[in-house]
Amino acid sequence: MRDPLIAVWPIKTIPVRHITPVKGRPVTRGPQPIAGRPQTVVSSAGGWRLVYTGCLARKSNILAFRALLALIEGRAEPIYVGPYDYANGPVRRAGATSPIYHTFTNGKIFSSGYRFVSSLSDCTLAAGAAKGATEIVITNSQQAPLQAGDYIELSGRLHVIESLIVDLARIWPPLRAAHAAGTKIEIDDPRMLAYLEEKEAGLQMQFGRWGEIDLSFEEANW
């Protein structure tokens, strides 16, 4: 479960050009042999770096930017940020903007034109998982079934599904904490706990009629 006292990246300031989740995965490469390729060892550890490119700042959201940057005080305070996978996120998953809508049982909608919106909360852990685990057993979503390549969140930590065979999912990075069976897996709007990178802690906002900011976040330590 996310900490309600920690800031969440505001929807109105979603980057418009590129969002790049970078897997900071330690790789060790051995010496070059006389023939063939050197041995490469890839660690299952590591963490995310999330790059936001082209965050628009204009009259409608410049106040949201200013408040957000003041709230996180450079890199002093953490924030929840997400991948916003528009192209491949079914329904509202990872920031996609086509939620599942419902009307009243008689087919009517509210007088304002709004309808009910379903949250995709039907995906859970089918069995408990230990800290550091790279495989989890899930009860998959019925409304928007998970598949390999999807992003998920477990209690404020972002993971990508490397493979999914029936109900066994291999994930990266390893679980940051132990989780009990029945724990909700966030697939609607997965986020991770992160800090603004050190080099951008003293960010200056300079705008004319239009403005853009590029930001990089690094996953909070274990």
Q: What percent of the chain has pLDDT over 90?
A: 26
Same domain, residue pair 158 and 201: no
Same domain, residue pair 123 and 49: no
> Out of 84-93, 117-126, 209-218, which region has the weakest mean confidence (pLDDT)?
84-93
Name the average pLDDT for the chain.
Answer: 76
* Three-state DSSP class for residue 65: helix
**Number of CB atoms found within 10 A of residue 191's CB:** 24
- Separation CA 222–CA 22 (nearest Å): 17
- Separation CA 195–CA 210 (nearest Å): 26
The CATH number of the domain holding residue 182 is: 2.40.30
* Residue 88 pLDDT greater than 50, yes or no: yes
Same domain, residue pair 99 and 173: yes
- Separation CA 140–CA 150 (nearest Å): 12
| Residue-wise pLDDT tens digits, 10-61 | 766 766 677 888 887 655 566 777 777 776 655 556 789 888 887 766 666 7
Indicate whether 32 belongs to any domain.
no
* Residue 90 pLDDT greater than 50, yes or no: no
Closest CA to 136 of 68, 183, 89: 183
Task: Provide the pLDDT for residue 37.
Answer: 72
DSSP H or E run through 161: strand 157-165
Same domain, residue pair 99 and 170: yes
Closest CA to 197 of 163, 170, 220, 169: 220
Same domain, residue pair 47 and 71: yes
Q: By the 8 A CB rule, do 47 and 24 touch?
A: yes
Indicate whether 34 belongs to any domain.
no
Q: By the 8 A CB rule, do 71 and 77 touch?
A: yes
Same domain, residue pair 134 and 197: no
Indicate whether 36 belongs to any domain.
no
> Out of 135-139, 142-146, 148-152, 164-168, which region has the weakest mean confidence (pLDDT)?
142-146
Indicate whether 33 belongs to any domain.
no
Same domain, residue pair 198 and 176: no
The CATH number of the domain holding residue 46 is: 3.30.200
Same domain, residue pair 175 and 198: no
Same domain, residue pair 78 and 145: no
Same domain, residue pair 176 and 154: yes
What lies within 8 Å, CB to CB, of 115 at 6+ separation is: 101, 102, 103, 109
Same domain, residue pair 152 and 181: yes
Q: What percent of the chain has pLDDT over 70?
A: 64
Q: What is the pTM of this model?
A: 0.75
User: Range of 163's domain?
Assistant: 93-106+113-190
Number of domains in the chain: 2
